Chains A and B, each alone.
Chain A
């Protein structure tokens, strides 16, 4: 049995590496004027990676005795897997390698971040022992993955439509989104390197000791001692649970994102948006706009069913109330209301195209916020919080 668990871990690593290969192949295929063989190989490689991840999922299920969607690590890897599944299916209808690249990049970042959370197989507390939990979580993740496609299409649309010759807000907003994505990558790289060297720093406060996995640049205002000499004490009003630790993680992620950004700029010698634009330019923009809307049209019902209806059925059984205004629930509601607004606003004159694309970007930010930030910044009663 023990072997099963180890094998399952290796399969996830294999999937991760295969997805990386998929990114390279799809990018290559996008750069070539005509796609054909490379594109098919890229699809096949990605599919192989997905099969490996499916293997990880099934083995972990067999080993732990419950569907592995019950803590943050498991949920995030599952979400990454759904993104790839949606990509593989969508690619049969819309063969645009850049969409695939976007999906793979985001999926890899999510799976990479997932690995930073505790990976042990955990037993289920009574409230989580319900089939409705599995049904709810898997459907919600699938819905979010379909909705994410509107972000991929929207982001490409924005890249396509933005005049990089002029300096205006939009150009810099694109760069800001890229820095954000790079920050996630930066966080992953930082966390992996410090973990490899076994780094931890324990900061003592008046009544507790806080273990940092990264150098403690920001420390609580009531710090007594820290192994890191350049600590900045957070303002007195930041007293929430582990506020300094969280600020520290966010700061270091953004910092590493900026460093990565500058490094890339050093090689490209122009704004990253401008460097990417030639790749995107050949895509038909009306098609991108259509794909964006279509993915919301398809994803919205799935999301509603999974994240709201199934969630409520489960909550009613487990906690005797189907709705409890828990932060994770509330942000699912916000996501839902926002995409409802997207569907309506698109009907208004002048809101198709670039404005819809921006809405899709905001929508995806809300999904990501609910996936990561609510767990890290706002404490709720969800198992993953």
Chain B
């Protein structure tokens, strides 16, 4: 289609004058879609037509795309919630670190922007736009190029990008030279059409299919059938069940190990000193993966060894349809604490507290009675309140009621401090010994969307290269009434290199003619 500059009527590409107002159509032809008629250019406008028209427009697509860009950038002004320090409450973190702006950012939900409904909606609109714009153009374009005639009207040729009038005594020789540049030549009477790299025109459609596949894969991830993501912490020597596997998959941590770089290595000395601490070289866990044989709820299942292996950072392993990644660790977690309580007469008694599953009541040898009131496995002061940062015993603290008869004192005890909450200071209690263990953090994943992402990425890359590294070029040779030839050329991009190629082809022909 070409628009008449005076009355805006849409005419065929071949028309010389406007079918509505009769004025002559001038200027270079816009060849982008070969003048094919597209659905979005239809006049009758039902609601569906209007929606179609909206999404088929590149301009609207770009509004959506740029809006997505802005939204994406907005999410990096402050850290996303997943990146704030473990144990900090979002509400409090954003307020205390970034003031009023931080509070606002949090309250507007920008701290979880990329999973917000409106960000998802933007991506959905983008997908719709890519899909509809592509369908709207591909089929008409495909048909137009497939059915294109060799013979074109003279005024159509004169309005191409590259136009020359030339005397050609030996068209065959010129054509064979053009053929040498990998053009394929068709003939219709006295007219020739040389064409190459038409496949490049399909590049955008191929890459858009790739993009849609990637969006589809992202959508599939919302379903647990395609994407399951579990995480287990396992102490050295212990076995844990992988959650949500119907009690069928167990992993044993035989040994977790950390290796660090040698501090005295002359090569890395300076860097390690700058870092101010040792730099880890590897994290790895020797694991055994078990499958539960015949499990009945409540019973201890029989475990069958599936695989023994080592998993380390950057070297995930596969077992039972899952991929296991080394993704966290904790050194020297407390497994048990020995506390020593002293009564009014200075007589002491020791008792053990299991940090995993502490008992509530303790009868001590010196007649004291300890009752556990509160337990913070990973205690931290958050302003004036005591919280537990995680549920793992990394920095345990307890609140005990110590009593003898009807005398009771409330004490707060952590590894290195004791505070009497009632202020009576009758009894004393402190931590005297502890046992520790290492814990490995394994991420256990089943992700059936990965192949879809990969395929999407591959198709996208293919389409990109196809569409951007090749250009569709055409040369028409048309014999005019006076016996000279009209040469017209079209390329879908990079006009100046095409012009160079054309000039060179004609130059070479001229030189041979003369010499």
Chain A residues within CB distance 8 Å of chain B = 1-2, 63-65, 118, 120-123, 125-127, 129-130, 236-237, 239-240, 286-287, 290, 293-294, 297-298, 300-301, 304-305, 308-309, 312, 316-320, 322, 324-327, 330-331, 333-334, 337-338, 340-341, 344-345, 347-348, 374, 378-381
Contacts and interface: CB of A to CB of B under 8 A. Distances in A.
B149 interface: no
A126 B312 contact: yes
Interface stretch (B4-12, B261-269, B391-399): B261-269
A333 B214 CA distance: 14
B131 interface: no
24 contacts: A2-B266, A120-B271, A121-B268, A122-B271, A122-B275, A123-B272, A126-B283, A126-B312, A297-B469, A298-B468, A304-B464, A318-B313, A319-B325, A319-B327, A320-B325, A325-B75, A325-B82, A334-B72, A337-B68, A341-B65, A344-B65, A345-B62, A347-B32, A347-B58
B97 interface: yes
A240 B99 CA distance: 10
B400 to A, nearest CB: 32
Contacts of A125: 279-280
B225 interface: no
B281 interface: yes
Contact of B72 (A308, A318, A333, A381): A333
B279 A344 contact: no
A216 B274 CA distance: 22
A341 B66 contact: yes
Given A290-B497, A347-B58, A348-B59, A127 B72 contact: no
Contacts of A320: 316, 323, 325, 327, 443, 445
B276 to A, nearest CB: 12
Contacts of A374: 76
Given A240-B97, A325-B75, A341-B66, 15 more contacts: A2-B266, A121-B270, A123-B261, A126-B283, A239-B96, A290-B497, A297-B493, A305-B461, A317-B315, A319-B325, A320-B327, A324-B82, A344-B58, A348-B59, A378-B76
Contact of A301 (B99, B275, B315, B469): B469
B457 interface: yes
Interface in B392-413: none
B65 A340 contact: yes
List 5 A-B pairs, minimum CB-CB distance, nearest first.
Answer: A126-B313, A320-B325, A122-B271, A237-B99, A120-B271
B24 to A, nearest CB: 21
B390 interface: no
Contacts of A318: 313-314
Contacts of B312: 126
Given A317-B316, A320-B327, A337-B65, A239 B98 contact: yes
B343 interface: no
B496 interface: yes
Contacts of B274: 118, 120
B453 A237 contact: no
A329 B495 CA distance: 35
B61 interface: yes
A280 to B, nearest CB: 18
A122 B268 contact: yes
A2 B267 CA distance: 8
A285 B202 CA distance: 30
